[in-house]
Structure 1
């Protein structure tokens, strides 16, 4: 399948300012980033050298959560804030367990669109699709996703390392509520989120540095993160530091130690 409504020749990428998706790619050792992204990434490393480990820990959580969901019968996935393709991608994890799994990726960064074909190499039994849309426009996300996913059957909504780029003023909680309202009973919300709970001074400095570059970083406490799951049934162990959520479902991230990685993760079921 090809990305919906996409024109690879029309992709225009702004390389004058850093972008979170491209910085994330740089942290992961990817090549789809620009000098401006590397420069901001290096500035983040001066504040906390664990940032690349944090990026890998988030990705490892996505792998474990997807594996858990597929093992527990989920066959449809909507991944918003997909980022630049890095194997294994979500559909590869899901379709390894369930070859008939259907996956829709969604991102608003043109560079992800430019590499979307890498997200679409799924099994013949299943389906993979890429949607160019922004989480701040949930109606467009849902409209596009419904072309591939059956919203009468459970869907796993994945928002990994995304909502800390959406402030309360932009309606982060309302956006999640609107997306969940479209999903049937038995669906799931999968999230990770950066926090300042463990490194307040470093986090404050990083927030200011990114804000000066035009990037919002809305770090939330454990209780603030837990609010996203209000009314949902949390999968054990509930809200947890990211690398401690079902570690048995994946391999430890190189460089991960016993220290606390400053981020939370959780998976919850809609009643």
Structure 2
């Protein structure tokens, strides 16, 4: 039975990645209104008569999101029954369902009533939390915590601070990136890394500020993760999950920065833009796993003091 649960968890995690990339695809191709102001139907029909590329993209995203939503619900219930004895299972199961439903409602509201770009930018981040919850459930099902001796891991205060702060800050970086897409600010600065345009001074309008704000935020998290990776290499060689975890985090962040630059250089190449979304999805999932390790470490220290 546990073997089937593992396969199902992997399938659901992959499905959540497709939901995130599908949402990014809808935004990047301007397909949000591909089904008009109708939801959950498309132009008031199950199968619309006038089908455009935008309609196909939007309708496919709705179908995939609905199907994966059902998978997440089944996984949450199945996980609770199979590994409910693990402390984090119930919380992660509820989290995965709640935020998946929330992102669906925001998407529906955007279609029916419309939303500001600043509200729509939350959509990707909300889906990201649901993905992270599903991803962590999958790791618990595979008993990754036991393989890496997570029950005995000890994380000092400085590393705990960096893990929590970087994870929170990464969510802000995700929001600024989503805001760039929703405000169509991706190419307002056609140079990289600076926004030269006609005047090398400060950005001159809201769109340039949004674009450069995201670049600055992304640059800061790159430097921050590079620093913490250096810390982990020096101080956590004996705890391989943190040692290799931060190395992977740095590689993902570097890939994210390179993909972001290539998005500008290639004038919004769709494949690279989706890779950009994929890298941040993986990075956020990894950072959330570090949060799980911090919780485990705090629990272990309290237990040892009792």
Calculate the TM-score normalised by the size of structure 2: 0.26
Pick the structure with more helix per residue. 2
> Which one has the largest radius of gyration?
2
Calculate the TM-score normalised by the size of structure 1: 0.28
Pick the structure with more strand per residue. 1
